[in-house]
Amino acid sequence: MRKLLTASACAVALAFLVLGTGFARQPHTSDRKLDSLLGKINKEAKADPEEFLKQLSQKHSIASMA
């Protein structure tokens, strides 16, 4: 019974992980301009994550986590 419960919990966690990554890929707010801006921000952040975090932290005067 314990193995079945553990396997079920793992299956549910995996399902949430898979569904979560699908939603996280494309910004969708129902606002074209905001979606476009978020897409550009995501592209910039993926291109050079360290530089993106550096610029973001400088702009908002906070310590960089990179």
Write out the chain in H/E/C secondary structure. Answer: CHHHHHHHHHHHHHHHHHHHHHHHHCCCCCCHHHHHHHHHHHHHHHHCHHHHHHHHHHHCCCCCCC
Predicted pLDDT at 46:
93
Predicted pLDDT at 29:
85
Predicted pLDDT at 2:
74
Cβ–Cβ under 8 Å, residues 27 and 42: yes
Predicted pLDDT at 14:
64
Q: pTM for this one?
A: 0.50
Between 58 and 24, whose confidence is greater? 58
Distance of CA 4 to the CA centre of its chain: 31
Digit-coded pLDDT (tens) for 10-53: 566 666 666 555 555 666 788 999 999 998 999 999 999 999 98
